[in-house]
Copies of this chain bind each other. A is one copy, B any other.
Amino acid sequence: MITDPKSSKVRGVAKLNKKDARSETGLFLLEGPQGLKEAIARPELLVEVFVTAEAQERYQDLISNLDVPVQLVSESVMKVLSDTSTPQGTLAVCRQLDVSLDSVISAKPKLIALLANVRDPGNAGTVLRAADAAGADAVIFSQNSVDLYNTKLVRSTTGSIFHLPVVLGADLASTIASLKQADLQVFAATAGGDLITELDSVELRKPTVWMMGNEAWGFDDETLDLADRQVALPIYGRAESLNLATAASVCFYVTAMAQNS
């Protein structure tokens, strides 16, 4: 059992909570049993797993199914490894996945989520989870969006990070051009747009990219101009807007329900 929170091993792993160390190593951290369960289906991505004694007992079936080294650690070591104040007792080191836009497009996608300058890890992770639930074929992160491998982001996907291809560091202009070329329509979700309830079902069912903008300022004009259409959710009450993840979820589901009806 590793009990020294200051050992070089522990410090090395804990560093993966920082973007620099993730970029250097090509690794990231996956906290908690829920994500770990999903990671088992992608054994090529798992490197090693750290567990506390309590978690080892509690998640016995899960842990015994792992095909990678499992290292017992003390509670105090887990606190150092985790970025949360209440660690869930398991922490996996995983390899980063790299997917190209070409491979996404060649799979003839019907629904794609495109995050344009989304900065909050919790928001981005929840959007990724919602995209997965809605059956999206891929998620694309633009340049200047939050790092996909941010520990909080990974946690808030609850395993969806392993379920669908994610394209990283996309240049918005060239990416959107390629998506349009492949006959996807690009909707920018924005308060000033055409109401989604006024689109006809033929349009709603077309292969669609939902582009979500920055939490605070939305889109710059240049990015808006890249979209085929600006689309808004109706506000039936008095809220000024929805938050990013809830707006994205409704957009994805309206499209998915139309495409699957």
Residue A12 is within 8 A (CB to CB) of chain B in the complex: no
Please state if B163 and A238 are interface contacts (CB–CB under 8 Å).
yes
Q: Which stretch from A55-63, A140-148, A180-188, A253-261 is at the chain B interface?
A: A253-261
Decide if A94 is an interface residue (CB 8 Å cutoff): no
A134, B247: Cα distance in complex, Å: 11
Contacts of A163 in B (CB 8 A): 237-239
Residues of chain A from 199 to 250 with CB closer than 8 A to chain B in the complex: 233-243, 245-250
Q: How far is the CB of A200 from chain B (nearest CB, A)?
A: 13
Question: Is A73's CB within 8 Å of the partner chain B?
Answer: no
A260 proximity list for chain B (CB < 8 A): 197, 234, 236
The answer to whether A242 and B197 touch across the interface, beta carbons within 8 angstroms, is no
Q: In the complex, A163→B235 CA distance in Å?
A: 13
Task: Contact check, B237 vs A133: say whether CB atoms are below 8 A apart.
Answer: yes
Residues of chain B lying within 8 A (CB to CB) of residue A52: none
Closest to A246 in B: B249
A130 interface residue per 8 A CB criterion: yes
Total residues of chain A contacting the partner, CB 8 A? 39
**A164 contacts the other chain (Cβ, under 8 Å)?**
yes
Say yes or no for A126: interface residue by CB 8 A criterion.
yes
Whole-angstrom CA separation of A132 from B246 in the bound complex: 13
Let me know if A114 is at the binding interface, CB within 8 A. Answer: no
State whether B235 touches A133 (Cβ < 8 A).
yes
Which A29-51 residues sit within 8 Å CB-CB of chain B? Answer: none
Quick one: which of B126, B136, B197, B257 contacts A246, CB cutoff 8 A? B126
Indicate if the CB atoms of A134 and B236 lie closer than 8 Å: yes
Which of B129, B156, B238, B242 is the one whose CB lies under 8 Å from A249? Answer: B242
Give Cα A131 to B234, complex, Å. Answer: 12
The reply to whether A197 and B239 form a contact with Cβ atoms under 8 Å apart is: no
Q: Does A151 touch B at the CB level, under 8 Å?
A: no
Please, which residues of chain B bring their CB within 8 A of the CB of A121?
A: none
